[in-house]
Structures are given as C-alpha cells and as structure tokens.
Amino acid sequence: MRAKPFEAAIFDLDGVIVDTAKFHYNAWKRLAGELGFAFSERENEQLKGVSRMESLELLLLAGGITEVTPERKEALASRKMSGTRSSWQRLRPLMYCPVSANFLGHLRSCGIKTGIASASKNAPFILDQVNIRPLFDVVVDGNSIVRAKPDPEVFLQAARLISVAPAACFVFEDAAAGVEGAIRAGMRVVGIGDGRLLTRAHLTITSFEQLEPVFLMSHMGITGSTGWGDGPNGQ
C-alpha cells in the first residue's frame, strides 16, 4: 500500500537540529563523577530524549545510588542544568548544524510544515540562542507536555497544532526513546546516528548531511530499493 504523502517534518532538537547532545552527556558525566562513579557514553544512550528528572533517575540507578530525597534530586538536577547551560553559552557558535537551515528552507519552500518535538525545557532558550525559531511552524517541548518520550505525546501535539495527520509526518530523531515515541504516534521515523542503537527507525542515517536526499526520496514516494523499510520490524 502506498504511504500517505509527506506533509510535515518534525524534528527532535538536541542532537538533531543543534549539536547539544554532547553537552547533556558531559554534564551528566560530571555529575556522576561528583557522586563518585563513572558514566559511559554507552550508558548515556538511554538518557537521550528522556526528560531531565527521568534522566537523573537513570543516572542514579547506574551509580547504584538509592534513597535520595526529592529535595536532593531537585538540587542534583539543577546542578546538572547549570553545567549544561554554561557549555551552551561558551560553545554557542558550534551548536548549529550548518546544513539544517538549507534543508529546512527547502522543506518549507515545498510546502512541508516543520516542527520541533523536544523533551527539553530549554528548547525555547536554545532556539533563541541560535536564532532559528522562525524556521519552525510549531515548537512543542518539555514545558508543554506531561509524558516524556517514549510516550508519543510530544509528537502528537506537534502534529495536531499544525493540523497534519500523524501518518503524513516524518520524524527525525537521534534517541531510541524518541524513535519509539514517534512510532507509537503512527509516524515515519528517520533515525540519525548509530543504526545498531536505533533499530526501530524506518531508516537510519549517520549524519544530518544525508537528510536532503532522504527527503527527496520520501517526498517523491519512492520506497524499497532506496533503503526505506516498510516499518519497524518489517511491519
């Protein structure tokens, strides 16, 4: 059966539109170090796309730290946050993936709606920092959702606000939790990063530079030999 035409592109923010995923990792790693344990990049994969407080829970679990009071958790989360923000301010010129402006402009000139679906409460701050808010028709972030990825809420809310059916949305994600959330939303998903970690994505690419050809293929409705699967797990 032919897929519904592509009407909207919904992007995760950290690690997709801006190169900030490493800042989150570095801040969690630093916090783990302060708490007395090492935290590897591999362990960090499960934190990607996950809300701040849920990430903290996973980090504490990885460090075998239990019985932490809610007040202490709040304090640890704020400490992590100030670490991330100071990196952003220092490295601001490196945050923006240079291809994205062209690609987003191309999408919009073809009449494709664009959106951000991010778990981060800092999404408005980041978009303002790099001055790319006008490139998106909608921004849904950690401030306006109740359930974090892998729940589909953030994606469904973005689709509803731009009046596009989920089946006509493509999602671009670097996190396994985000890929899962988009699939649960009934959307098609391009995973950006290591295909071995993003196994549920319909297609995985390794860098943002590859997005444009992917878009052209999908926009033209070409499937099969282009590398697009029929769906997660071949469904």
45 binds, among Mg ion, ligand BG6, none (CB under 5 to 8 A by kind): none
Known catalytic membership, residue 14 = yes
Q: Which parts of this chain interact with ligand BG6 (CB under 6 A)?
A: 13-14, 21, 24, 47-52, 55, 81, 118-122, 142, 175
The DSSP result for 142-154, as a single string, is TTT-SS-TTSSHH
Q: What x/- string results for residues 121 through 160 when contact with Mg ion is judged by CB under 5 A? A: ----------------------------------------
Other CB atoms within 10 A of residue 179 CB:
30
Q: Determine phi and psi for 195, rounding to 5 degrees.
A: -60, -25
By beta-carbon proximity to ligand BG6, the closer residue of 55 and 100 is 55
By beta-carbon proximity to ligand BG6, the closer residue of 6 and 191 is 191
Tokens of 150: 């892998």
55 binds, among ligand BG6, Mg ion, none (CB under 5 to 8 A by kind): ligand BG6
Residue 144: CB minimum distance to Mg ion, A: 17
By beta-carbon proximity to ligand BG6, the closer residue of 13 and 156 is 13
Known catalytic membership, residue 12 = yes
Residue 16: CB minimum distance to Mg ion, A: 6
Q: Which of 164, 230, 154 lies closest to 7, judged by CA?
A: 164
154 within 8 A of 119, measured Cβ to Cβ: yes
By beta-carbon proximity to ligand BG6, the closer residue of 52 and 113 is 52
18 within 8 A of 101, measured Cβ to Cβ: no
Query: What is the spatial order of strands in the sheet that 138-140 belongs to?
Result: 138-140, 113-117, 8-11, 169-173, 188-192, 203-205
9 within 8 A of 215, measured Cβ to Cβ: yes
Member of 6, 8, 15, 156 binding Mg ion (CB under 5 A): 15
84 within 8 A of 23, measured Cβ to Cβ: yes
When asked if residue 45 is in the footprint of Mg ion (CB under 5 A), the reply is: no
Residue 183: CB minimum distance to Mg ion, A: 15
- SS3 state of residue 81: helix
**Binding footprint of Mg ion, residue count (CB under 5 A):** 5
**H-type alpha helices, 162-228:** 176-184, 211-219
Contacting residues for 66 by C-beta, under 8 A, at least 6 apart: 60
Q: What x/- string results for residues 153 through 192 when contact with Mg ion is judged by CB under 5 A? A: ---------------------xx-----------------
Q: Return the active site residues.
A: 12, 14
Binding site for Mg ion (CB under 5 A): 12, 14-15, 174-175
